[in-house]
Each structure stands twice: as C-alpha cells, then as structure tokens.
Chains A and B, each alone.
Chain A
Amino acid sequence: MKKKIIIGLSIFSLIFLLAGIYIITTIETATAKLDNLITLHQVEILREHLLINIKRVQSDLNLKSTRFARSIDTVILNVRNMEKMADKCFECHHSEDVLERLSELRNDIDKYKDALSRVFTIRANTGRLKAEEDSAFRTGENLITKVNNMISIASSKLEKKTQSALGNIADTKTVLYILLAIGPPLAAGIAFIFMRGFTRQVNVLLEATRSLKEGNLDYRIEGLKDEFEEVAASFNNMAASLKEQMYKMQRTEQMVVLGELAAGLAHEIKNPLTGIKLSMEVLSEKTFTSEEDREFILKIIDEIKRIDSLIKSLLKFARPPKPNLAVSDLNEILNDTVTFSLKHPSLSSKTSTSINVLKHFDKSLPELMADPMQLQQVFLNLLLNAIDTMQDGGTLFVKTSYDAGENTVQIEISDTGKGIDENAIDKIFQPFFTTKPKGTGLGLAITKRLIEQHGGAISAENNPGGGATFKISLPVKKEGKNL
C-alpha cells in the first residue's frame, strides 16, 4: 500500500512536471515565434523604408530639371539615407542566399548612385543629357521593382509564417485547455481509485470485527492486499486463537465440574469400598473359606484395588495438588525414574530385561524450580507407556538438553514400540482415552496437566522408523519466582 501510494504520488508529480515543462516550453516557443515575427515585421518595415527612400531619390531625379527641383544638398541627404537603409538590411540578415540577394541589391544601389551622380554632374547636349537621365531613371525603376518584389515575396512569406505561428499558438492553446480540462478530473479519478481501494479494505476489516463481535469466531478475512493482507492474517490468527481459548476455557470449566463430580463420587465410593475390601480380606483369612472361594475373593480384592487406584487417579486429575516447588536436578529425577520404572511391579520381568535403555543427559543442564514429585509422576507415566508398547523388547531412549535461546529444558522419551495410531494422536492427551483393555486413559491427561502447571508443554509424534517420541519443554524458572 505504502509502495502504491509512493508510486501513485510519483506518477502524479511526474505528470504534473511533464505538463509543466510542456506548458513552459510551448509558451517559450510561442513567445520566441512571436519575437521572430516582430523582428520579421520590423524587417518588413525596414524594407518599406528602403523603398520609400529609393522612391524619394527617384522623385528627386524626376524633379531635377523642373522648377520644383530640390537642392543638391537634399538630394545628397536622400541618397545617403537610401544607402544607410540598405546597409541596415545587412545588419540582421545572415543566411547565404539572402546575403547574396542583398549584395546584389547593394550593387544595384551603387549603380543607381553612379548613374545619379552622372546625371547631376554631366554637362552635355540635351540628347545625351536625356539619355543619361533616362538610364538613371530606369536603373531607379529597376531597383524599385526589385525591392517591391522582395517586399512582396517577403510579405507573402511573412504572412505564411504569421499564419503558422498563430496556428501554433492556437494549437498550444487547445492543448493547454485540454490539459486544464483533463488535469483536475484525472487527479480526482486517481485519488478516487486510491481512496476506494483503501476504504474497501478498511470496510472489509470493519465487517470482520463486527462479525467477530457478534460471536462468529469462524469468520475469516479473505482477498485483501498489501498491508491489509497482513492485518487480515493477524485478524484471522486472533479469531482462531480466540476460538481456541474459548474452547479451552469451556473444557477447563467442564473439567472443573467433572472434577467436582468425580471427587464427590470418589469420596462416596471410597469409604464403602474400604469396607468391602476389609471384609473381603477378613473373609479370605477365614478357615471356612474354601481354596476355590479364596481365589475368587483375592481376585475381588485385586479389582477393588484397581478401583481404588482409579479413584485416586481421578481425584489427582480432577483436583491436582499445587506443585511444591524446589530446586530440582532434572537429570537425576529422570535417571531415578527410569531405573524405578524398569523395576515397576506392573511389568513382567521378561519385558524389563529385553528392553535396551539409551540415556543422553545434558551435563550442563541448569537446575530449575519444579515439584520433583510431580515430575517423577510425569516421567513415570511416559516411561510406563513406552515400556508398555515394547512387550517384545526394544530400545528406550531418554534425552535431556538445554535451549539457551528460549531458556527452556527439553526432555525426550522415545521408544521403538508400535507407535500411536494416526487417528488417535489428537486424542491421547484427553482423559479416559485409552487403547488398553485395563488402561484408565488418565496417564497422559494427568501428565499434560502437570506439565502445564509448570508452564511447560508436551507433544507426541511418531518416529519415522517406528515407535513414538514424547517431547517436553520446561521453562527454567529462576528461584523465588512464583509460577
């Protein structure tokens, strides 16, 4: 948009500049032409003066032997004026052919002068005198014809030149009028197009915010350009994130309700269950109980224990305890948990021995503020899942590292097991999602909760070569800072 405005403005000023230059140059050329015309007209006047002078001299000649004869001083003055006028022509004409014609004229004037001088000085019989006078007169008439010709040729040329100059000026005037007529609408048009482009996009944005206000979080802006496109993208992101936050809030609310419900229920179930369990234990120790019944009773006790642990887990998920922060060495906690998990009673000894463990701990890992018990719970959940998927053996890979840029600690736990079903990968962190017959589906949900309580994040992905990898990122919190 900025670019467009700059380009638009530059084009606009360029057009203005060009028009300005055009106007100035045309005015200049027009005035130059007029100047030229004026000089040409002056030259024309000069020529006519010359003609008048020649005619005056010619009349001096005609009057010479009459009683109206002018004094010789006047005649001399007139001849000299005629000459001066002719010399003036040389002052401004420069083109070669004109110069040639002029010097021809000059020669003729000299001849005329000679003839005149002769007429005024000669003393002879009347015949000879008349002959000389006639010759001078003819020379003068010739001269007059020549100058007349010159004048008529020049004036016809001048007429043409004047016409063409006036025509040019008229053309210039029309162009100027056209420019004047076109200029403002053009400017207005360009401004309108710019403004429309601008307001249209702003309107789209306005429409979007309105629809967002009305609760349509799925509204997305499309088809905007330039800077507006970026604004639209931000808007779309905002809408998406608003929707997600809304969804999360709804879920949290649900969870809270569910937690309350579960906690109440668990509490109600816990006491009778303890009673049943105690009674069952007592019953199993009774001598009248047959061996066969004792086995049933032990199985019932097992199931009760499972119910008990489920209730405990449910309570943990619904009302997670506040983390008890302490300076924790992550490597140590993880290492201990790996060792513990491999000896976990829920695993068959066969499984634990056929699993190869690879550890890659970052020695320079900074200590961080966290609840060690909760972290142990997190790692245990993940490790147990990993080991669980490798019933027939495999490699467990645990890794820690430090990202100085983000100031976070990264923990990776990967296995070479069956991997997560592509359809399930979005759901594994949801409570009660499980693919295991005896699973509760609360392990990963609790894990996610705990990690988020620490301000961290967890994600899962399948390894390209089989198995899954869980990645945890925890912020390194400075001591004394509350979560």
Chain B
Amino acid sequence: MVKVFILICVIIISGCSKQETTSPDETTPSTIDTTLVIGLIPERNIFNQIERYEPITGYVAEKTGVNIKLKVLTRYGNIIDNFVSAGLDGAFFGSFTYTLAHAKLGVEVLARPQYIDGTSTYHGLIFVRRDSGIKTVKEMKGKIFAFVDKATTAGYLVPLFYFKEHGIDNYRTYFKETYFTGTHQDAIYDVLNKKADIGAAKNTVYRRLADVDKRITKELVILEEFLDVPENGLAVRKDLDVSIKNNLKEALLNMHNDPAGKSALRDFGAEKFIETTDNDYANVYKYTKEINLDLATYDYINE
C-alpha cells in the first residue's frame, strides 16, 4: 500500500516536472520555503481583490514552488510605505505607483496582463453628469471634484496635468471641495450619484461599469481623455533573488500556453501576461515632467 502511494506520488511529481520543462530554468526551484508577500492596490472593492488575484498567484506559486501571500492595501500610496514596513516582495502596481516606487525604491516591473478585449493599457478620463451643464474648465469653478487617490495616474496625475494645461494654479481653491474616493469605481459613482460634480478615473473601469450600468453612458459625459499608460503590472523589489524573479516572470509570460494557466487567466479576465519594462511607462513620465513633479520626493499621502 505504501509503495503504491509512493509510486503515485512519483508519477504525479514527474508529470508536473514534465510540464515545467517549458520554463527556461530546467531545475525545479529548490526554494520551497520562500514566501513572497504580494501587495494589491485597491483598484476595486478591497474585499474582492484577494479572490480576484488568487487564481493568478496560485498558479504562479504552484509553477515556481514559491509560496505567495496576498496583502490588500486600502490606499494606492500605502504600497510604497508597505514595501518597507510590511516587507512586501512585490505588488501589482498602478502605473503611477510603479513610477513612484521605481523612483523611490528601485522596484523592477516584470509583466502586466493583457485583458480579453485586447487592451493592456488604460488612460485617464475626466467626466461630469450630462445634466450638470459643465462643458469647460471655467464651468468647473466652485464645484466638487472627486479624485481617486493621490498615487493614481488616472485619478490624480492626469487631472493635475489637465488643471495645469487649463491654467488652474491651485485646484484646492478653484474647486469648492476635492476629495479622494479611494477607488475608480467610487469616483465614477460619486459623480453619477451627485456626491461630486466632476470625476477622474480609468477608462477601463469606466467601460466595465458602463457595460453593466446603463445609467453611466446615459447620464455621464466624458470631457477629456488622456494618453495610454500600462495596466497594473507586477513589479518586485530590486534585491529579490534573480532566479525567483526570472521564475515569476517566465511563469506569468507562459501561463497562457498551459491549460491550467489558461483557466486561471480566464478567471482573472485576462488573455495573457505580456512583458513590461520601465520604457512602457513613458507616458507617465511625460505627465510627471509636464507638471514638474519630482517622483523621488513626491508626497503621495492624501490630505
């Protein structure tokens, strides 16, 4: 009986390692005990984030033999604090948080998802209620503006660029009130539900919500669209073991070739992971330069 059990184990293990021959690193990782803590930004309902990312990280963990623990963060900017304080090894960064983290901590981006509709980028939007009558920046004066987070491209960086472009020197005085909703979704809904007059958010979230809530297309109107920036991608701390780093990257980039990986991708809503480098964030850098923002010293804490 014990022999049979061992035999079965051997077959299963050999079956697994056969699949792994696709990875460039021929040997099965020996760092079984390694646990990576991966941070998740609150791009959606924070209570759904773990569930959403679990298929991907579960697959990668199995592939690489590394334990992966997910940690949800309630603020975009938290991710940078936590990298040091909570000992994060990596995170799915938003485009702006990545550039911040890259500048402050030197994190290295590995890959980002390409969603089923083919998109691997997004861009910022500025929108108002159709019945608000707001068409230009002038009409925004004295209204309420809903940002997402100080550490988001679509939810803060591009609006700053927009304000500068339109000659608003200090948005804090130009608007009656500004605040940070925390999520793109809430920024959109706050405008829709008249909690705010103007909102800024990602186009991908906007489109996803518009698909399920007809009110969005009917009652909201987009005033401005910005340049494309990369979707939230996985970046790891710069001093992470090179082999682990490579394993993670290879596992992500090849997962669409593997049935198990494919189904995990489907659950996540992506087609595959594509290779991503610092160069892909050119547009973010462009915006920060335009508004003279120094990434290394930028205070991302929301007031």
In the assembled complex, A124 has its CB within 8 A of some CB on chain B: yes
Find chain B residues with CB under 8 A from A114 CB. Answer: 45
In the assembled complex, B177 has its CB within 8 A of some CB on chain A: yes
By secondary structure, the A interface counts as helix
In the assembled complex, A418 has its CB within 8 A of some CB on chain B: no
User: Besides the contacts A117-B182, A120-B182, what 12 more A-B pairs have beta carbons closer than 8 Å?
Assistant: A72-B46, A117-B42, A117-B46, A122-B179, A122-B180, A122-B181, A123-B179, A123-B180, A124-B180, A125-B177, A128-B177, A128-B179
In the assembled complex, A73 has its CB within 8 A of some CB on chain B: yes
Find chain B residues with CB under 8 A from A72 CB. Answer: 46, 72-74
Find residues 103-143 in chain A having any chain B CB closer than 8 Å to their own CB: 113-114, 116-118, 120-125, 128
Find chain B residues with CB under 8 A from A128 CB. Answer: 177, 179, 195
CA distance A83 to B195 in the complex (A): 28
Most A Cβ at <10 Å: residue of B46, B181, B302:
B46
Complex: chain B residue closest to A131, CB-CB: B195
Q: Given A73-B72, A121-B74 in contact, is the A80-B181 Cβ separation under 8 Å?
A: no
Find chain B residues with CB under 8 A from A151 CB. Answer: none
B74 with A120: CB separation less than 8 A? yes
B180 with A117: CB separation less than 8 A? no
Find chain A residues with CB under 8 A from B50 CB. Answer: 76, 80
Find chain B residues with CB under 8 A from A124 CB. Answer: 179-181
Find chain B residues with CB under 8 A from A378 CB. Answer: none
Interchain residue pairs with CB less than 8 A apart (14)? A72-B74, A73-B71, A76-B47, A113-B48, A114-B45, A118-B182, A121-B46, A121-B74, A121-B149, A122-B182, A123-B302, A123-B303, A125-B179, A128-B195
CA distance A303 to B72 in the complex (A): 161
A303 to chain B: closest CB distance in Å?
133
A80 with B186: CB separation less than 8 A? no
Complex: chain B residue closest to A127, CB-CB: B177
Q: Given A121-B182, A125-B177 in contact, is the A80-B47 Cβ separation under 8 Å?
A: yes
Q: Which residues of A contact B (CB under 8 A)?
A: 72-73, 76, 79-80, 83, 113-114, 116-118, 120-125, 128
CA distance A73 to B71 in the complex (A): 7
Find residues 36-75 in chain B having any chain A CB closer than 8 Å to their own CB: 42, 45-48, 50-51, 71-75
Complex: chain B residue closest to A118, CB-CB: B186
Find residues 166-212 in chain B having any chain A CB closer than 8 Å to their own CB: 177, 179-183, 186, 195
Find residues 67-126 in chain B having any chain A CB closer than 8 Å to their own CB: 71-75
CA distance A232 to B215 in the complex (A): 106
A83 with B47: CB separation less than 8 A? yes
Complex: chain A residue closest to B76, CB-CB: A121
B181 with A118: CB separation less than 8 A? yes
